[in-house]
Structure 1
Amino acid sequence: MAYSWDKSLETGNFTIDEQHKSLINAINELLEACSKGKGRTEVSKTLDFLQNYVVKHFADEERLQIQSSYPDYKSHREKHESFKITVKGIAEEYEKGGATIQLVAKVNTSIGGWLISHIKSEDKKVAAHILSR
């Protein structure tokens, strides 16, 4: 299942929205690579990009939260840290067992589903707080 960008995912912060689009594209590329049985190199490259980009994106988001004195910063950061661990775990699982059906399902729910849900709930709260300042 590919994810697509729509208005329901917009936070109103151009930088964050563009980063979210990049993350969604990376997830789609990963799902496609796994489902089409593409080479380990391509899947590994996409997983590496995703892991690194998540770190950069979350740091940017957290910086905005600190700058705007976001009251739920600590909880939001904990969600980010948990997600980084999930992505790392999926990368490790891929290295051990390849692109199994179970792995593709985890990418779809634990990465894609989590990100969409997180944007629609948590990131929209952050954006509303920043806009209200």
Structure 2
Amino acid sequence: MKYELTKELETGNSIIDGEHRELFRAVNNLMDACGKGQGRAALDPTIKFLLDYVDKHFAHEEQLQAKSNYPGITAHKQFHAAYKTKLREIANKIPAAGPSIADLGALNGHIAVLVNHIKSEDKRLGAFLNK
């Protein structure tokens, strides 16, 4: 399944939506590589991207929330912190010799958590920012 920034996922904030497009592009590239039997080679750069991405993107969201006095900032920050911790745990469990199918499944499942967060919490944030 390809990830796509549909109307259901758009927040209406150009910074947030642009960064979400970057995320989906990286994840889709990994899935394409997996479909071609090249997933192991593509995983390391994707993990590096994701680790950098969550730090950068979450910081941008939190800056927007602080600047706008977003009432849900505390819960949003808690989600971000827990998400980053779990992503690092998943990344650290992947053996140097390459990922197993279970490793790829864990990563994909964690990405799905982020997509669900976008669909609900980031949409709520976008609506608040667009008021």
TM-score normalised by the chain length of structure 2: 0.88
Check whether the contact 1:30–1:43 (CA below 8 A) recurs between aligned residues. Answer: yes
In the alignment, structure 1 residue 44 sits paired with structure 2 residue 57? no
Output the CA distance in 2 between the equivalents of 1:89 and 1:82: 11
Instruction: Tell me the amino acid that sits aligned with residue 38 of structure 2.
Output: G
Kindly tell me the number of residue pairs found equivalent between the two proteins: 130
Check whether the contact 2:51–2:87 (CA below 8 A) recurs between aligned residues. Answer: yes
Check whether the contact 2:40–2:98 (CA below 8 A) recurs between aligned residues. Answer: no
In the alignment, structure 1 residue 74 sits paired with structure 2 residue 109? no
SS at match of 2:66: helix
Consecutive unaligned residues of structure 1, counting only runs of 5 or more, are: none
Give 1 or 2: higher helix fraction. 1
Indicate how the Cα distance of structure 1 residues 105 and 39 shifts in structure 2: closer, same or farther if over 3 A, else same. Answer: closer
Name 2:130's counterpart in structure 1: 131
Q: How does 1:109-128 map to 2 (within 5 A)?
A: 109-111=109-111, 113-128=112-127
Output the CA distance in 1 between the equivalents of 2:83 and 2:22: 17
Consecutive unaligned residues of structure 2, counting only runs of 5 or more, are: none
Name 1:61's counterpart in structure 2: 61
Deviation string, structure 1 residues 27-55 (Cα, Å, up to 9, x no partner): 22233344523454x42122101110111
In the alignment, structure 1 residue 21 sits paired with structure 2 residue 29? no
SS at match of 2:94: helix
TM-score normalised by the chain length of structure 1: 0.87
Q: CA deviation at 1:5?
A: 2.2
Identity of matched residues, %: 39
CA RMSD across the alignment: 1.7
